[in-house]
Amino acid sequence: MPSNNLSSSLPQHIAIIMDGNGRWATLQGKKRTAGHQAGGKTLKKVVERVFQLKIPYLSLYVFSVDNWKREKEEVSFLMKLIKQFYKEEFPSLQKQGIRIVHSGVYPPLSSEIIMLLQKIEKETAHNEKGTLNLCLNYGGRVEIIEGIKKVLQDNIKPEELTPHLFSSYLFHPEIPDVDLLIRTSGELRISDFLLWRLAYAELYFTDVLWPDFNEETLDHALQTYQNRERRFGGIKK
């Protein structure tokens, strides 16, 4: 059962790198797509738990700009899961008042997926109970480059550019910096995820493969976060 001992000092923004679906499937003697299917079930439970705890922002690394290098069958299956997410999970999130946004670039996503993402954003735009940020066809360097392009287009002078101003050129600038990054499967890297917003995030790595991640594992990550001291470059007084 999820812990009931979590204090009020919860993160405002959690980001998750959902890693290990393929390895989970291999250990089960199944195809990688079976791992992604199982990972989708985990996703549902974790999203429910995060917003149950009234954590305002959740960012999920759904598909990176580098994931197109994977086998065509796997990429196609992942895109089907996105459509499945809309069909099966969107009504519940809409009812809960969760806003869903997309961070990333559109090409080479299919027109069907692009229209679906736009539809989800539009239909949940006025929801205020939490924000689910789907990072799809996303890359941290890409986000920064896209921001630089907008800065140049606006003819911002070098002396005018500050970190605060540049933040307004990122994807969905209303989303705050990440407080807690969780990565599953034992990999110890951030893989080009939310590079700007991770500047002062607490990092939590676990050997648990994503399909085996659950509400209890999430609560443990949150308890670990609460036991850390965040100084943001300062010193303890």
Determine which one of 4, 5, 19, 192 is catalytic: 19
Q: Yes or no: say if 111 and 79 are a contact pair by the CB < 8 Å rule.
A: no
Whether residue 67 lies in the annotated active site: yes
Residue-wise DSSP of 45-60: HHHHHHHHTT-SEEEE
Q: Give the amino acid at 53.
A: L
Whether residue 192 lies in the annotated active site: no
Cα separation, 92 vs 86, in Å, equals 10
What sign results for the dihedral spanned by CA atoms 174, 175, 178, 179? positive
First and final C-alpha spacing in the chain: 37
Determine which one of 4, 5, 67, 192 is catalytic: 67
- Cβ contacts of residue 118 below 8 Å, gap of 6+? none
Name residue, tokens 């392009």.
149
Tokens of 74: 């796997």
Around Cβ 70, how many Cβ atoms within 10 Å? 15
Helix (H) or strand (E) holding 116: helix 111-124
Question: CA neighbours within 13 Å on the CB side: how many for 162?
Answer: 3
Cα separation, 37 vs 230, in Å, equals 36
Catalytic residue ranges: 19, 67
